[in-house]
Structure 1
Amino acid sequence: MTLKTRRRGAELEDAIVAAAWDVLVESGYPGFTYEAIAARAGTSRPVLYRRWPQREDLLLATLNRVWFSHAIPLPDTGNLRDDVIGFLRNADAGRTRLLTTISVQLMDYFRESGSNFGELRDRLRAPGQPTGLERLVARAAERGELPAVPRSPRVVNLPFDLLRHEMFMTLRPVPAEVITEIVDDVWLPLLRSVA
């Protein structure tokens, strides 16, 4: 006879969050219930309520875990153009499916909460943490490739915003030539004109 050991701590939390993600992907926000998640995780609703008193708390914990488990690698090629093209390709490869899944499955959450994807992103992002593009631009300035002057975060982050727009509009991976156009035809000329 095999004794079943009770999961506790991080092991239990990992199982719950994995189950919550599966439920969200399969059933969307309307199906994202304590009952469905507890059943999928093989635990009870009170266990979930103790950790996450509100359904939104559990949703944010789930999205946070999934989002940050798909970190976008920052290339270091020695020049800004190639770093940013590599970064956008990494983002496209690692986040297109995730981003489209989240946006589609959370429409009811956005409607119910009155929030939007930008607000959700801001809630998940650690305050004061630089974006990948901000880090790449800072690195280019340290190398002397760009002047070390203040730049608008909107200008610095434009390539990722345009990539995300392409992802949302097509719900497909972004072609390599579009990524190159974003960097060469839009962003680098703009970045250099405001420096």
Structure 2
Amino acid sequence: MTGPKSERRRGEALETAILEAAFDMLVEAGYGGMTMEAVAKRAGTSRPVLYRRWPNAAELTVAAMRHHLAAHPLEIPDTGNLRDDVMGLLRHIVERRTRLGALISVELSDFFRETNSSPAKLKTQIVSREQHVMEVLLSRAIARGEIEDRAFRPRVISLPVDLLRNEMMMTLEPASERAVSEIVDEIFLPLVGYRGER
């Protein structure tokens, strides 16, 4: 495709348009309905432009999902106590992941078959910040004397988010406030030995 629009958009602007078009198509049509030709048309560019950056639809899919998460980054809550921090984090994830969670669990079955992958493997490709945020929240809680100063295993650190993600993938709906509070109050806080601010 040629013309003034394609002449002006190059580099980062063009790549952003492609990734946003790809993500929108994933949500609307699923992986099976997202073709390189359709993405190119929607982004106002050509297939060769896409193939120069991503050799196949699977790699474009991962890039589009990673871009979507980067464009909607997790904020690090700072309420002054661990419980409210973790509750705030999980609420933010519920709000941000409603659209993406349904996509991963339902619309990407063809992607998983084609790439011999799984939701867990895809998560490691597109998600990196959640673990960092939880580490920050735990470090602050240690400094405040809310929990004992000790090293937590990665599985413990990621547990609240993992349980939340499982809840949304199993129900295909946003997690309820009750589910969020049960994850925090009945599972995570007792596990890390939460004793409140001191």
Task: Compute the TM-score of the two structures, normalised by the length of structure 2.
Answer: 0.88
SS in 2 for 1:115: coil
Q: Residue 51 in 1 paired to residue 91 in 2?
A: no
C-alpha distance in structure 2 between counterparts of 1:105 and 1:191, whole Å: 36
Identify the structure with bigger relative contact order (alpha carbons < 8 Å, sequence gap 6+): 2
How many Å apart are 1:125 and its aligned residue?
Answer: 3.5
Find the counterpart in structure 1 of residue 158 from structure 2.
157
Cα deviations by residue, 1:95-118 (Å, 9 ceiling, x for unpaired): 122211232221110111111111
5 Å-filtered alignment, 1:1-195, equals 4-5=4-5, 6=7, 7-126=9-128, 130-192=131-193
Cα deviations by residue, 1:130-160 (Å, 9 ceiling, x for unpaired): 4322221122112222222111111222111
The aligned amino acid for 1:104 is: V
Contact 2:76/2:133 (<8 A) preserved: yes
C-alpha distance in structure 2 between counterparts of 1:97 and 1:42, whole Å: 24
Q: In terms of mean alpha carbon deviation, does 115-124 or 49-58 score higher?
A: 49-58
SS in 2 for 1:29: helix
* Residues 42/52 of structure 1: CA separation in 2 closer, same or farther (3 Å cut): same
* Residues 173/129 of structure 1: CA separation in 2 closer, same or farther (3 Å cut): closer
Gaps of 5+ in 2: none
Contact 2:21/2:43 (<8 A) preserved: yes
How many Å apart are 1:129 and its aligned residue?
Answer: 8.2
Cα deviations by residue, 1:66-112 (Å, 9 ceiling, x for unpaired): 12222222211111011111111111112122211232221110111
The aligned amino acid for 1:77 is: T
Contact 2:26/2:103 (<8 A) preserved: no
Q: In proportion to residue count, which structure has more helix?
A: 2
C-alpha distance in structure 1 between counterparts of 2:11 and 2:51, whole Å: 15
Contact 1:70/1:95 (<8 A) preserved: no
Gaps of 5+ in 1: none
The aligned amino acid for 1:36 is: A
SS in 1 for 2:151: coil
C-alpha distance in structure 1 between counterparts of 2:107 and 2:75, whole Å: 26
How many Å apart are 1:18 and its aligned residue?
Answer: 1.4
Q: Percent identity of the aligned residues? A: 49
How many Å apart are 1:4 and its aligned residue?
Answer: 2.1
